[in-house]
Structure 1
């Protein structure tokens, strides 16, 4: 009987082994990386970072904020995943985010902001991808029109456009 178990194990192991290791939580990007998240995260897909291409971000539930901003005339529509969903996917744990833009602009964002205000990681502006020259490819957007307090320099300064990196601290 023991010999039969060994034979079954030898033939069954290749079938069982793939199931023993669950698929990674994060896909590998197939396109150009547009966002790198590092720091206090538990889910990584490249060395010590979590990296995303635009396709990965577009697969997440999308939300739209229609709001005035100090940078664009009238009401603009910003669409993308909630930043809290992106951070949950990478297992972020910390108290703040350092957002870093392509031009090395840096701003600190309390982690509680992303859930308190349903901040969007916008990848579309008025239903179109944002080129770098027009604040893209990613823009952290608060729902400024939803609360008077959000229409202030504090929150405008936290709204990094041309976002490339989030450091979870």
Structure 2
């Protein structure tokens, strides 16, 4: 390799390493969390959520034909990571639908904040990018209007009270 090529390669590498790390843009933010949490408001990206570890739930729902496998972060794990202090969470969807849910219900019933359905990230047009999913088939008592109304899709924010 010639000296000119080596210097050009080193220069390009130095530029790449010196480039500032790109902060998350508003388009990267999937979830905003506020209220009674440690450290105040948090804006979370897909990478932030996936870093908490993903769990799968295979279940039938009223919104899809047949059993689907949903993959996302356990809400219990998310709440633990955020050190939430609230007993209630107001979940708001992109269309401003909102519901208040006892945090204990989401934890004890093993709900997840799903990002994937059958291996693919969920689009806004298909209940994504985030969808609260309960394991409906694991507990027949979850098949109720109460829990269906708590299964918010297109989740954009959570506020803990």
Question: Structure 1 29/40 Cα, relative in aligned 2: closer, same or farther at 3 Å?
Answer: farther
Tell me the residue number matched to 1:42: 38
Match of 1:85 among 77, 81, 87: 77
Structure 1 gaps, min length 5: 1-27
1:119-144 per-residue CA deviation (whole Å, 9 max, x = no partner) reads 10101011100000000000011000
TM-score (norm 2): 0.82
Tell me the residue number matched to 1:56: 48
Q: What is the CA RMSD across the aligned residues, in angstroms?
A: 1.4
Secondary structure at the aligned position of 2:137 is classed as: helix
Match of 2:24 among 6, 30, 35: 30
Q: Which runs of 4+ in 1 moved over 2 A?
A: 28-31
Q: Distance in 1 between matches of 2:64 and 2:97?
A: 19
Structure 2 gaps, min length 5: 1-21
Match of 1:69 among 55, 58, 61: 61
CA contact (8 A) 1:137 1:162 kept: yes
Q: Distance in 1 between matches of 2:156 and 2:24?
A: 17
CA contact (8 A) 1:29 1:56 kept: no
Secondary structure at the aligned position of 1:68 is classed as: strand
TM-score (norm 1): 0.78
